[in-house]
């Protein structure tokens, strides 16, 4: 089985400005994200969901994922002075799925960009178009 790290906002969930800061209803799954993530979890994979929110809002993002019935091993939120790369380096996923961050500056904002080079070579990085979801990822759907 694999360790799979999946970014939440922009990759698997739409966020509605203003609402997403306060309400679980401000998060809407993109396509079949719920089904795909839950299928991967049910096949025995470890699912690490990475959120934009900081650790102090962990309970909020947990309620959002639980509200939508998403199955996961752990939800990852950055602490103070922590970068996304720090989370990736701590978890050491086999597969990292994130969006292209087009609306916030692109590649420089990807989780994988600043990961230690030696570790990066062992991570399958899958970049999807922002807000397009993960429905079309054959590798993801066919994972054992």
pLDDT band at 26 (very low <50, low <70, confident <90, very high): confident
Phi, psi of 76 (to 5 degrees): -105, 125
Residue 140 has pLDDT above 60, yes or no: no
Report, as an integer, the average pLDDT of 3-32: 83
What gap in Å lies between CA 94 and CA 123, rounded to an integer?
5
Closest listed residue to residue 132, CA positions, set 109, 92, 94, 101: 101
Closest listed residue to residue 140, CA positions, set 75, 89, 93: 93
**Domains of the chain, CATH where assigned:** 3-100+134-141 (3.40.50.1000)
What gap in Å lies between CA 144 and CA 141, rounded to an integer?
9
Distance of alpha carbon 12 from its chain centroid, rounded? 7
* The predicted structure's pLDDT at residue 120: 92
The residues facing 64 across adjacent strands are none
pLDDT tens per residue across span 38-87 = 999 999 999 999 998 888 889 989 999 999 999 999 999 999 999 999 99
Residue 18 has pLDDT above 90, yes or no: no
Residue corresponding to tokens 């969006």: 99
pLDDT tens per residue across span 97-136 = 999 888 877 778 788 989 999 999 999 999 999 999 999 7
Reading the block at residue 119, the tokens are 């570790």
Task: For the chain, give the number of residues.
Answer: 144
């Amino acid at each position: 089985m694999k360790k799979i790290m999946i970014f939440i906002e922009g990759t698997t969930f739409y966020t509605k400005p203003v609402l997403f800061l306060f309400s679980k209803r401000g998060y809407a799954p993109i396509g079949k994200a719920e089904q795909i993530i839950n299928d991967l979890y049910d096949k025995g994979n470890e699912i690490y969901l990475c959120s934009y929110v900081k650790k102090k809002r962990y309970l909020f993002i947990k309620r959002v994922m639980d509200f939508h019935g998403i199955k996961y091993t752990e939800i990852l939120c950055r602490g103070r002075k922590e970068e996304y790369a720090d989370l990736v380096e701590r978890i050491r996923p086999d597969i990292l799925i994130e969006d292209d961050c087009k609306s916030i500056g692109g590649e420089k904002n990807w989780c994988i960009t600043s990961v230690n080079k030696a570790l990066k070579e062992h991570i399958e990085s899958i970049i999807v178009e922002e807000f397009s979801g993960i429905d079309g990822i054959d590798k993801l759907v066919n994972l054992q």
